[in-house]
Structure 1
Amino acid sequence: MAVTPFTRLAALAALLVSAGAPADTPLRIEQLQRCGDLLDADAPTFCLAVAGLEEAELTLLLDGVALDPAQIERKPQRLRLTLDPATRSGPLWLAQGERRSNPVWLTRQGSHVIAASSDEIAENMDGVSSYVDLVSVIIEEEHDGLEEARRLADKYGATVVGQIPPLNTYQLRLPVSDLEARDALVLRLGSELSVDAVVVEESNAEESFLEQEASAPPDAHDQEWAANRFLDAVNFYQRRLSREHDDVDTHPVRIGVIERNVDFDTPDFADYLGDCRVDATRTCVYAKDAADPAGHGTTVAGILAAAWNEGGNTGFLRGLDSVGPGFDVIVDRDSDAGITANIAASVNLVEDGARLLNWSWGIHRVGTIDINGEEVDSLVRSGIAMDGYEELLEEFFLWLRREHPDVVVVNSAGNASSFSGRDEYRLPSSFVTDQLFVVGGHERSEEDVAVDDARYAVKRDASNIDMRVDITAAACVHGSTAEGEPGDTHCGTSYSTPLVTGLLAAMMSIDPTLTPAQLRILLRRSAMPIGEEFDFEPTDADDLTAPILPSERAHDLEHPDIGLSARLDMYKALDLTVQSLERAR
């Protein structure tokens, strides 16, 4: 057979199909971070790492508006974007032909810190990886933070490389090459009258501070969410707040989730690509793309927003879409710079309008003892690092109380079988403030009892405990999968936390005027019991949460729940929220 131009093209097309043509490759934003001069507010620069980018024409859209191509510098699978000062925060995504990327949240707020590379990290005396030449200084509030940070940098031969302006915190790169020289310079910086504290970061180059998972048997979560009346709550919201009932107006709520990324190639998140907000009532997810569907961020975000009946996770807020006000779920960690980056991202999210922050992370001080008297060996940090983190977290919560008193932070209690409220050993759950809710984990018991019976669920062995824990929620969930089949079971307080976050978002959507203190009252009044009664005396290994009080049971001193720990009841919490709104009219 003669070879013609047509047969050559046909052969080439067949080869492209067999190899996977570029047009079939998903378009994904894998990274988005500030780059260039991080202190430049007039012409901020952002760098994007993109997968599946072709040579063809590209459109970059911010909040639905195409950006000027002159603002975009293209390289293979890399983009560099320069914005003008008037640009506002919003969702950013790519369009190329018919393909749409995952939307990520581009913040125009100024907080950002940089992570150390692998050769800028060394192991300290406690055996913990520590940043060698990057530290952050918290400047006393009476000083201009940036000006003072630059003065200190000039004095000690350092460079200002990052900042969290609302907390008067600035990141310095020190002229040191080992931990001994760093510690000497940290002591000198800490003695400066203008310096409140120095934050030493302890983290591997790519390590997150996310809660480590506890072991779980396969399919352990099948009946777990029944212990929190998950489906009853979805049904109540859909029925009571449907368009047929016009007596309650719902309001959109923005949620910040401190996680790295979400896998948009899973069926759970596949329909979040491109412009999500074309439908005002649906839940939207903004996140960088992950390569692994079993990742921590995908599972946490999935409890809030995964599509239903796709074989993987099941999102609570996604279940409200038919009548919902439009929930925004923004997943971001700023960078891999540990706790400091978590706080930088949290500040940006709050300034971008987030009413809720989901913190499924935490750390213990080296030497922490669990309830069995054994030393905790996971997610531990040295005393010098913990002292700096405590000061940074204190500044954050003081700022929240002063500037954003309506914001709630929901934090996991931890999975070390230890005590969540001991401030010398556990952060951030040990902070006592109306704006921080701490969530423990439970699992289904083997008792054949009614759902509201205290024996229906038992605390997970790994869950941290004590009076500082506000409430418990189911700790086990199926993760997302690329094939749309049931994934592995993930267990831990990391996954209890977004159940409470999602519920609080639904409550805020019903009544956005609720304060953090009022939300806690509704959460505790609606709670079901769990555990045994100990007459309000904290008992090691048995007191999972603060005990239910008579004031949380209509001052009935004989109520059987008094003295027991509190278990999340999503249905009743929504019901009480509607009732309280009706009474307030």
Structure 2
Amino acid sequence: MPLIRPLLATLLVASACGSAYAADALRLSNLKRCGDLLVSETLTFCLDTRGLGSGPLEVKLGGKRLPDATFTHEGQTVRLTLKRKDHTSGPLWLEQDGKPSNPVWLTLNGSHVLAATPREVTKNMDGLTTYIDLVSLIIEEDADGLEVSRKLAKKYGAEVVGAIPPLNTYQLRLPAKDLTERDAMVLRLGSEISVDAVVIEESSAEENERTPAQLEKTPNENEWAANRFLDAVNYYQRRIPAKAAPIPTTPVRIGIIERNVDFDAADFNDYLGDAPRDAKRTPHTRVYARDAQAPDGHGTTVTGILAARWDKGGNTGFLRGLDGAGPGFEVIVERNSDAGITANIAASVNLIEDGVRVLNWSWGIHRIGARNIQGDEIDSLVRSGLAMSGYEELLEEFFLWLRREHPDVVVVNSAGNGSSLSGADEYRLPSSFVTDQLLVVGGHQRSEREDVSVDDPAYVVKRNSSNIDTRVDISAAACARASTLREDEQGDTHCGTSYATPMVTGIVAGLLSINPELKPEQLRMLLRRSAMTLGEEFDFEPTDAEDLTAPILPSERNFELNNPDIGLSARLDMQKALDLAVKSRDRVR
């Protein structure tokens, strides 16, 4: 993104944090449950830090200082013990010598799973890294999951070590020394009457989020104009506090399933501690995340599209641009542990129970054998059929629980970068699930046409790597600038549906701040009704089976059968979506 100077620069506060390279900067690099994960009353957390000295330390949870008796610290490790009944989930940070660390989200909910160490993984016959002795059991919903899991653990000489209680899912450590022993035990466990499915993990001990190598030309600097990004921020800043008819807003909590964010980056170095700002600019966006050591990481870029500072180089955050007019958005970056898809779901469950209304899933996997639209095999983020079947059952349980217990929550998921079909349930997860609570986002980039207006379908073209088909709800700009350590330095371009997804997450959060009564199906309707178009018209029957998104229907254009948008794919229009949300307040209530 180019540097954006006019209009909203006065809303943004310069950082007083000093050099991004300060060697003594206090940072929280990890926070996790430790000890017995099944204990529910007294919880123990282990915190890994950088820059922690030997002097007096303050630990703050939700802005309140915790008693010194609740924690100990030695070297760069802090061990914290809390009684659940005395606290609630909230942001936690450290302070030493008047210097705050980055805030991380501490959840008191009970969904936690263990990740394998490098010694506990191996390569399977497909060449994929897989866990040797850690598996998860999805217990039938009418059974007591913990009791059944403990009985099965005793029967098989295993140990229950983790849990996602709302999904009746429990993690076991098996007495297996190799894959032959593991697979034999998985087969036997799967045949138990009370077991619905067995989930195995195929993730490295430290598998980095990644996108395929970029084979397409570098996009131009005007990608977000295709979604009217600046128009949307301008509209929100003018319309919400308008003197004639101001719009009351509601705070929204957003969850991002990512590993960490670099708080030394110019985009994020004013989010430390409780991030105090000039009173005139409150409420304001907040970011809670573990600290990364590289400003161009996947989690930092995804989060930056929502929350990065403006006019400091690097990224530009949509929600950050709403500061002052908006209600104050909380952005929680959380991944539970490095235990792959199972940890993603555990983190999602905890976040939802902590009040998150919108979840950003900039991740997805393909089954081995999946092919792209050219017929070539996909070779990125693939899993075996055995792993995919377990993941599919786990995701099914998650969405059933979501519909039953949290029907107002919406998950925004990337369509994927395999040039394949996002809705092929045999080969793609989780975007292939069909539920009102899952919005799927494809990616586009600016075309070379300079003679067309922004609302012309030819203004953009599909990103060649983006997954497609009618399961994709909407397309958004796939490219963004990475964050940088130094201010006023332009970051590299990152592209993929991972970065289109938070564009939609941000606007959904904006819609909910205007009208919190909107249901997931209504949010999709507003996005589709407000959408611009891309692609060519095929009268609903594309000759090459390449619907970029679900085609726009007459019902999404006021039943105008001759509307030129009918049959085209849907492209995000952030400004018009906000306008429809304002108009929906009277209609929905």
SS in 1 for 2:42: coil
Question: Does residue 266 in structure 1 map to residue 253 in structure 2?
Answer: no
1:501 maps to amino acid: T
Query: Once the two structures are superposed, what CA deviation does each residue of 1:120-145 show, in whole Å capped at 9, x if it has no partner?
Result: 11111111111000000000011111
Which residues of structure 1 form unaligned runs of 5+?
1-19
- Matched residue, 1:32: 31
Question: Cα RMSD over matched residues?
Answer: 1.5
Give the one of 298, 305, 324 matched to 2:300.
298
Contact 1:139 1:168 in 2 (8 A): yes
- Matched residue, 1:113: 113
- Matched residue, 2:231: 232
Deviation at 1:583, TM superposition (A): 4.0
Deviation at 1:210, TM superposition (A): 5.3
- Matched residue, 1:356: 358
SS in 2 for 1:271: coil
1:500 maps to amino acid: V
Query: Once the two structures are superposed, what CA deviation does each residue of 1:240-275 show, in whole Å capped at 9, x if it has no partner?
Result: 002625542100000000000000001100110011
- Matched residue, 2:480: 477
Question: Does residue 454 in structure 1 map to residue 457 in structure 2?
Answer: yes
Using the alignment, how far apart are the partners of 1:23 and 1:200 within structure 2? 42
2:207 maps to amino acid: E
Query: Once the two structures are superposed, what CA deviation does each residue of 1:189-216 show, in whole Å capped at 9, x if it has no partner?
Result: 0000000000011011100455546445
Query: Once the two structures are superposed, what CA deviation does each residue of 1:81-103 show, in whole Å capped at 9, x if it has no partner?
Result: 00012221000001111211000
- Matched residue, 2:79: 80
Give the 5 Å matches for 1:155-166: 155-166=155-166
Question: Does residue 513 in structure 1 map to residue 512 in structure 2?
Answer: no
- Matched residue, 1:170: 170
Contact 2:241 2:247 in 1 (8 A): no
Using the alignment, how far apart are the partners of 2:354 and 2:212 within structure 1? 29
- Matched residue, 1:252: 251
Aligned residues: 564
1:364 maps to amino acid: H
Deviation at 1:429, TM superposition (A): 0.2
- Matched residue, 2:53: 54
The alpha-carbon distance between structure 1 residues 581 and 556, as it changes in their structure 2 partners (threshold 3 A), is same
Give the one of 480, 498, 521 matched to 2:502.
498
The alpha-carbon distance between structure 1 residues 212 and 112, as it changes in their structure 2 partners (threshold 3 A), is farther
Question: Does residue 93 in structure 1 map to residue 93 in structure 2?
Answer: yes
Deviation at 1:580, TM superposition (A): 1.5
Contact 1:217 1:489 in 2 (8 A): no
Give the one of 361, 368, 372 matched to 1:366.
368
Query: Once the two structures are superposed, what CA deviation does each residue of 1:511-552 show, in whole Å capped at 9, x if it has no partner?
Result: 000000000000000000100011112454631101000110
Contact 1:91 1:104 in 2 (8 A): yes
Using the alignment, how far apart are the partners of 1:572 and 1:542 within structure 2? 27
The alpha-carbon distance between structure 1 residues 23 and 547, as it changes in their structure 2 partners (threshold 3 A), is closer
Moved over 6 A (4+): none
Contact 2:481 2:494 in 1 (8 A): yes
Identity between Structure 1 and Structure 2 (%): 67
The alpha-carbon distance between structure 1 residues 51 and 398, as it changes in their structure 2 partners (threshold 3 A), is same
- Matched residue, 1:152: 152
TM-score by length of 1: 0.94
Using the alignment, how far apart are the partners of 2:131 and 2:417 within structure 1? 25
Contact 2:517 2:588 in 1 (8 A): no
SS in 2 for 1:299: helix
Contact 1:257 1:330 in 2 (8 A): yes
The alpha-carbon distance between structure 1 residues 461 and 142, as it changes in their structure 2 partners (threshold 3 A), is same
Give the one of 430, 433, 444 matched to 2:432.
430
Contact 1:221 1:476 in 2 (8 A): no
Using the alignment, how far apart are the partners of 2:150 and 2:401 within structure 1? 23
Give the 5 Å matches for 1:181-580: 181-208=181-208, 211-212=211-212, 214-215=214-215, 217-218=217-218, 220-242=219-241, 244-276=243-275, 280-447=282-449, 448-484=451-487, 485-540=489-544, 542-580=546-584
Query: Once the two structures are superposed, what CA deviation does each residue of 1:217-250 show, in whole Å capped at 9, x if it has no partner?
Result: 45x2511000000000000000000262554210
Query: Once the two structures are superposed, what CA deviation does each residue of 1:2-54 show, in whole Å capped at 9, x if it has no partner?
Result: xxxxxxxxxxxxxxxxxx9x996110000000001111111110000000001
Deviation at 1:56, TM superposition (A): 1.1
Contact 2:412 2:504 in 1 (8 A): yes
Using the alignment, how far apart are the partners of 2:148 and 2:534 within structure 1? 52
SS in 1 for 2:470: coil
SS in 2 for 1:136: strand
Contact 1:471 1:566 in 2 (8 A): yes
Which residues of structure 2 form unaligned runs of 5+?
1-18
SS in 2 for 1:270: coil
2:500 maps to amino acid: S
